């Protein structure tokens, strides 16, 4: 039964993009600048080497934020371990001294998941960047957390294998960061998300103890599934130091289709009818009219600017099956009301279309000083209602929001173009997003499909999961991290705040 959501007193300047800090919604430092005592600084430098412990104001500023707008807090220090043993030593020191530790990869997080909101030590895992093994017999790969996603995908594809998770930041994001946040991406409809490809982990607990979960056996029901628990735990339970990934055979062929719809409802119907026809595309992406216009100005990919909705659809698999699916999808789109359907004639044309979709955020970010990319998911059948609700919220609060996302799995990215210096406009942005999240829950959806909770959405979590589940999550956090040193201020909102309440 869908949630019935009340969001009285939810909106305001200090609700969503403040997280645990409860600071004004401006990109400022929320705490007095401080550094560690000399004995701790010497100990950290002794673990990783002098050049891999940073404490200058400039270096610490570089790690005071991630890709989330309006969040920036100076850490007390930044450390770059090169091995599991060094991570162990750092966490043992942190446990003894009560130091806060924020694990971090490339910093592409969009929920303030790697912002040091309570200061502390930023633990950057990018030096641990080796592919340790690709096992072609068992179709697995063993990697360190700092491996970048896209080069790893290219490496396994050269062997005829495939790693499907495909976050939009794949050229930059690390596999460890993807695992920590359970990243999704463009291929989520057919292939699932990161958790579906993690077979096992090596992780260091806050105490410094190393645990290993899972393995290459495809069936294993021995005890609690700690692997699944750690995937998506956002660095709050343990620091991941090694990942065992599942690979699949590389698809033999793929084709791409572009469908244009004068009416939003018709595009949503085409999505539903495609799935109802038992066709599951590899990619089924959506751009609203505002996004399509901006992307075309930026990428010159031949996107139309006079329709309400654009669908970008890719299918992969055996050549004959791909051809049959694409023909059937084209027919379904026309029947649903598409004014035009184009099938890419070459791989270059197909790549240009998908690149245009991937460039949506970059294209939109050119228009205003601050770009807030959000993340809400609803059942596929409620997609048109959700897009309309986003548009209505933007009109009601006089803000500009463009929407794109993964139509096939109902995961939308309403993106607000604003200016953090305009406090009145930012307040309206907050009000608009409060209504958007409330509507997503009302439609049976969720506050985040792939970005995570982090600090940015901590105040909304209870509305999504309920007080009982939230209390259980907090007890799990305490069991793993009794001192509360790992990634504090994330997932759980502490202290008084305006929030959504849920009744069933």
Q: What is the pLDDT of residues 68-116, one digit of tens each?
A: 998 899 999 999 999 999 999 999 999 999 999 999 999 999 999 999 9
- Specify the residue for token string 């924020």: 102
Average pLDDT over residues 206-210: 98
pLDDT of residue 19: 29
Domain pair 4-10+368-486+499-503 / 253-363, same fold? yes
User: How much is the pTM?
Assistant: 0.89
DSSP state letter for 119:
B
pLDDT of residue 498: 35
> What mean pLDDT, rounded, does the chain reach?
89
Residues listed for the chain: 504
> Given 3.30.960.10, 3.40.50.1950, 3.40.50.300, 3.30.43.10, which CATH number is that of 30-63+65-124?
3.30.43.10
User: Is 253-363 in CATH node 3.30.70.3450?
Assistant: yes
Structural domain boundaries of the chain?
Answer: 4-10+368-486+499-503, 30-63+65-124, 131-249, 253-363
- 213's enclosing H/E stretch is strand 210-214
pLDDT of residue 225: 97
With b for 16 or more beta-carbon neighbours within 10 A and e for fewer, the 412-421 pattern comes to bbbbbbbebe
Which residues, other chains included, contact 481 with Cβ-Cβ below 8 Å and sequence gap of 6+?
205, 206, 236, 237
- The share of the chain scoring above pLDDT 70, in percent, equals 91
Terminal CA-CA length for the chain: 8
User: Is 4-10+368-486+499-503 in CATH node 3.30.70.2740?
Assistant: yes
Residue 437 near residue 9, CB atoms below 8 Å: no
């Amino acid at each position: 039964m869908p949630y019935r959501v009340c969001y009285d007193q939810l909106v305001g300047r200090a609700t969503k993009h403040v997280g645990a800090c409860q600071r004004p919604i401006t990109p400022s430092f929320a705490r007095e600048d401080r550094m560690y005592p000399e004995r701790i600084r010497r100990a950290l430098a002794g673990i990783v080497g002098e050049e891999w412990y940073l404490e200058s104001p400039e270096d610490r500023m570089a790690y005071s934020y991630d890709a989330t707008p309006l969040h920036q807090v100076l850490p007390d220090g930044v450390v770059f371990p090169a091995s599991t043993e060094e991570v162990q030593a750092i966490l043992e020191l942190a446990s003894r001294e009560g130091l806060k530790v924020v694990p971090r990869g490339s910093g592409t997080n969009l929920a303030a998941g790697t912002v040091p909101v309570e200061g502390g030590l930023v633990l950057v895992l990018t030096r641990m960047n080796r592919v340790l093994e690709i096992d072609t017999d068992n179709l697995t790969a063993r990697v360190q957390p700092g491996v970048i996603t896209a080069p790893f995908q290219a490496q396994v594809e050269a062997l005829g294998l495939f790693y499907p998770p495909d976050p939009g930041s794949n050229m930059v994001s690390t596999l460890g960061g993807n695992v920590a946040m359970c990243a999704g991406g463009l291929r989520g409809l057919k292939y699932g998300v990161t958790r579906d490809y993690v077979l096992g982990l090596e992780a260091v607990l806050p105490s410094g103890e190393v645990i290993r979960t899972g393995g290459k056996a495809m069936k294993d029901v021995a005890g609690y599934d700690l692997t699944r628990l750690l995937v998506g735990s956002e660095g709050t339970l343990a620091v991941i130091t090694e990942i065992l990934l599942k690979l699949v055979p590389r698809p033999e062929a793929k084709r791409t289709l572009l469908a244009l719809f004068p009416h939003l409802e018709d595009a949503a119907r085409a999505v539903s009818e495609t799935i109802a026809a038992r066709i599951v595309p590899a990619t089924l992406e959506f751009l609203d009219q505002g996004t399509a216009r901006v992307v075309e100005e930026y990428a010159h990919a031949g996107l139309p600017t006079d329709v309400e909705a654009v669908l970008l659809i890719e299918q992969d698999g055996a050549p004959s099956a791909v051809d049959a699916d694409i023909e059937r999808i084209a027919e379904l789109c026309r029947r649903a009301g598409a004014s035009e359907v184009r099938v890419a004639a070459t791989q270059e044309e197909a790549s240009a279309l998908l690149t245009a979709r991937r460039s949506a955020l970059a294209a939109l970010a050119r228009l205003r000083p601050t770009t807030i990319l959000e993340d809400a998911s609803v059942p596929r059948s409620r997609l048109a209602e959700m897009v309309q609700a986003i548009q209505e919220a933007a009109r009601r609060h006089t803000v500009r929001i463009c929407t794109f996302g993964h139509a096939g799995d109902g995961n939308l990215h309403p993106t607000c173009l604003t200016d953090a210096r305009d406090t009145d406009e930012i307040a309206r942005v907050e009000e608009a997003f409060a209504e958007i999240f409330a509507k997503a829950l009302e439609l049976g959806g969720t506050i985040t499909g792939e970005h995570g909770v982090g600090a940015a959405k901590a105040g909304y979590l209870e509305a999504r999961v309920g007080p009982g589940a939230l209390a259980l999550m907090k007890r799990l956090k305490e069991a793993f991290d009794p001192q509360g040193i790992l990634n504090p201020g994330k997932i759980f909102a502490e202290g008084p705040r305006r929030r959504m309440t849920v009744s069933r």
